Amino acid sequence: MAFQFKNFNNFRWMFDRLKQDIEVTVPVSDHKPTAKDFDSTGTPKKQFSDVQKLCEPIVKSTTNTWTSPGTEFLAEGGGTVEVAQMQWVSLHPDFPRGTRVHVIASNHDYEVESFTPDEVAGLTTYYLKAVTK
């Protein structure tokens, strides 16, 4: 990292205001698959590492079509349907795609679909999709 925004802590009040308790589990993929790694239909089961407890923001991004095209769809019966993106803003840059995030307060589970590092601020934004347990 050549340059990092040194004044991030001056703006940290918003990070601290939005943070909440989450549990993060990273998928394990460093072993050779065996029969017990598959369910009865032959679908691979994901193996996960130990749970890491963090306190970081999970936010819902609702941008309008002026700033981000494609966030509204026309409903068949008329009207529009807004689409929102769940995002996890983290100080940790090393979680891979497929990482599970459990929000303790709401009891919701998400999985990391992709991520965008912000090297200047020292943050990583992870884009989440909802999953069932």
User: With 90 as the cut, is the pLDDT of residue 102 above it?
Assistant: yes
Residue whose entry in the numeric block shows the structure tokens 């009040």:
13
CA-wise closest residue to 85 among 110, 56, 66:
110
Contact 94, 42 (CB under 8 A): no
Residue whose entry in the numeric block shows the structure tokens 């394990």:
28
C-alpha 117/C-alpha 127 separation (Å) is 11
Residue 39's pLDDT band, with cuts at 50, 70 and 90, is confident
pLDDT (average), residues 60-80: 64
Looking at residue 76, its pLDDT comes to 80
Residue percentage of the chain with pLDDT more than 90: 25
Contact 117, 79 (CB under 8 A): no
pLDDT (average), residues 25-40: 73
